[in-house]
Amino acid sequence: MRTSPNIIITGTPGVGKTVHSEQVAEETGLKYLSINQIAKERECYDGYDEERQSWIIDEDKLLDAIEDEVTEGGYIIDWHACDLFPRSWIDLVVVLRCPSTSIFYDRLSSRGYPQKKLEENLDTEIFGLLLEEAKEAYDEEIVIELNSENSDEIESNCARIAAWVESWKKSHAETTTSWGNAVQ
């Protein structure tokens, strides 16, 4: 039984996943797991998309590369998709959103994305595709949507997620203790 939860912080590129993930990891003691970094370090690629100027992840290889770690619990997973992770691994899915298209456009433009990639990400965000993906892949009660347009929202979001982690740990410690007492 895990003693710490696993949380996916997901959303379209540019919504603040890394900022949130790193801050929540620091506040909670959970380990930060950047899927981009893992894919690079452990060579979990299936090619390169020239048009989008990005690597294509080999999902099976990626899951094999992180399974032993993640199933133990205690991870903040930073990735722009969530439906590839088995339900049994995940306790909370946080979908970050940036409803202001002008703010979002500026964030993506500053990254120097090719026009096609910029337009695809804008469309994905506008239509809420990643939120729908999360709701289809996981039980809706573990999926939350949070806006991430400014530093006040980031601070509030991180505090909310950290409080959830503490609550999860407390409720699971009580369950473990109760179960342990029942066995004795």
Binding residues for ATP: 14, 16-19, 111
User: How does DSSP classify residue 13?
Assistant: T
Q: Take residue 42 and report the two structure tokens written for it.
A: 């452990």
Annotated binding site: 14, 16-19, 111
What does the alpha-carbon distance between residue 42 and residue 149 come to, in Å, rounded to a whole number? 33
Helical pair 115-126 and 129-137, crossing angle rounded to 10 deg: 60
What does the alpha-carbon distance between residue 39 and residue 16 come to, in Å, rounded to a whole number? 20
3-state class (DSSP) for residue 184: coil
Helical pair 17-28 and 151-183, crossing angle rounded to 10 deg: 50
Mode of pairing for the β-strands spanning 45-49 and 92-97: unpaired
